[in-house]
Amino acid sequence: MAFNITVYSNANASSKSISFDFVGDVLCASDEVFDANTSAIQYYYKITTSAKQDNNRAYQVKVVRTLSDLALNKTKQSAVDTANAYANVREMVTDYVYDYINGHTADQFTSGCTEQRPMKFSG
Amino acid sequence: MAQVKIFNDEDARYYTVTIDAVSTVLDKVYGVATNATLDFYLKLTTTLKTTAGASFGEKILRTLADVPPGYSTAVNFTVLVNDWVEYYIVQSELAMSSSSSSSSTSTSSYIENWSSSSSKSSSSSSSSSSSSSSSYIQNWSSSSTSYIENWSSSSTSYIEAWSSSSSKSSSL
């Protein structure tokens, strides 16, 4: 059971949805090296949306394994210039939704992230 | 939703630990009176019982510090879930048990629409195993995900890792 965040644009009278799911998958092609002494199953939040950036590019699937996985390149929060881990799941969800809606510039808050355009509500 | 399936050899029964991503509206935040607000958290439930036969009830996990009694703060969600599974198994005094895990994404219309437009990004995988099977992995199924791009080439390492993981649980 996942939950969806619906974002409504008053200016465009349209809504977009962001889905947060908690899953346990086998990450055979992840960036993590398998260790025979650890579990092959990884549990994490998986964030998806069918919305597009305002340049019509789709959003990548985002994976949050820990509350230290911050929205900007895992190193900085999106809404404020801080490298502090999210205090709880609610803060994590709120900041990721903020990032989806507002986007960010390349290297925002010197996080080393690539640019992400704001969410597109028109058309 | 993620679900851990636990087989107990002693009574030849399966038990589950279910972890859901949940949102709800609170009229109070963490016991402090304030305006209504949305809250997001994990909800843990299990079909396992205590040795007295009582239910463990729901566990609400808001942070990585919401660990079982006596455990240290988890470094990520994988450790957090594994700690709770271990806690439940120990508290239930299961013997000779093994565990497997599966997950599924939401069945809401939103996900279905997303699947039709980009199945690569929204698909999920699941796996299951039984310790009583002579071939060990009794039921193996998966759907392609963006994370499992070379399934056949990496399946050997997966089985090795999985076997190790299961034997770790069996020692309980």
Which has more pLDDT, A30 or A65? A65
In this structure, is residue A58 part of a structural domain? Answer: yes
- Give me the pLDDT at residue B52, please: 87
- Give me the pLDDT at residue B99, please: 61
Domain of A8?
A: 2-31+38-110
Lowest mean pLDDT among A9-13, A34-38, A99-103, B9-13: A34-38
**Total structural domains in chain A?**
1
Against a cut of 0.80, is the pTM above it?
no
- Give me the pLDDT at residue A48, please: 94
Report the residue of A16, A18, A25, A96 to disrupt the B interface, i.e. the one with the largest count of B CBs within 10 Å: A25
Nearest-Cα distance to chain A for B92, in Å, is 22
- Give me the pLDDT at residue A33, please: 54
pLDDT band at A18 (very low <50, low <70, confident <90, very high): very high
pLDDT of A120 strictly over 70:
yes
Reported ipTM: the value is: 0.83
Helical ranges in chain B per DSSP H:
77-92, 109-117, 119-122, 151-170
In this structure, is residue A121 part of a structural domain? Answer: no
- Give me the pLDDT at residue A70, please: 97
A44 touches chain B (CB under 8 A): yes
- Give me the pLDDT at residue B50, please: 87
Residues in chain B predicted with pLDDT less than 50, given as ranges, are: 106-172
In this structure, is residue A73 part of a structural domain? Answer: yes
Give residue-wise pLDDT tens across range A59-113: 999 999 999 999 999 999 999 999 999 999 999 999 999 999 999 999 999 999 9
φ/ψ (deg, to 5) at B162: -65, -45
Q: Which position has the token pair 């260790």?
A: A35
Are A65 and B164 an interchain contact pair (Cβ–Cβ within 8 Å)?
no
In this structure, is residue A94 part of a structural domain? Answer: yes
Determine the Cα–Cα distance for residues B134 and B140; give it in Å rounded to an integer.
Answer: 14
Contacts of A27 (CB under 8 A, 6+ apart): A42, B147, B148
Are B150 and A34 an interchain contact pair (Cβ–Cβ within 8 Å)?
no
In this structure, is residue A105 part of a structural domain? Answer: yes
pLDDT of A11 strictly over 50:
yes
φ/ψ (deg, to 5) at B89: -65, -45
Nearest-Cα distance to chain A for B11, in Å, is 25
Mark which residues 90-119 of A lie under 8 Å from B by CB.
90, 92-93
Mark which residues 4-43 of A lie under 8 Å from B by CB.
4-5, 17, 19-30, 34-43
φ/ψ (deg, to 5) at B61: -115, 110
In this structure, is residue A118 part of a structural domain? Answer: no
Are B77 and A22 an interchain contact pair (Cβ–Cβ within 8 Å)?
yes
In this structure, is residue A117 part of a structural domain? Answer: no
Strand order of the β-sheet with B13-29 is: B59-61, B32-46, B13-29, B2-8, B97-103
Give residue-wise pLDDT tens across range A47-61: 999 999 999 999 999
Q: Are B99 and B166 in contact (CB under 8 A)?
A: yes
Return the sign of the alpha-carbon dihedral for residues B20, B25, B26, B30: positive
Determine the Cα–Cα distance for residues B111 and A100; give it in Å rounded to an integer.
Answer: 18
pLDDT of A36 strictly over 70:
no
- Residue B143, both tokens: 């759907």
- Give me the pLDDT at residue A69, please: 96
Nearest-Cα distance to chain B for A68, in Å, is 8
Q: Whats the size of chain B, residue-wise?
A: 172
Are A38 and B165 an interchain contact pair (Cβ–Cβ within 8 Å)?
yes
DSSP letter string over A55-121? TSPBPPPEEE-STT-BTBTBTB-SSSS--PPPSSHHHHHHHHHHHHHH-B-TTGGG--PPPBPPBP-
Q: Whats the size of chain A, residue-wise?
A: 123
Nearest-Cα distance to chain B for A65, in Å, is 6
pLDDT of A14 strictly over 80:
yes
Q: Are B127 and B142 in contact (CB under 8 A)?
A: yes
User: What is the pairing mode between strands B59-61 and A62-64?
Assistant: unpaired
Which has more pLDDT, A38 or B103? B103
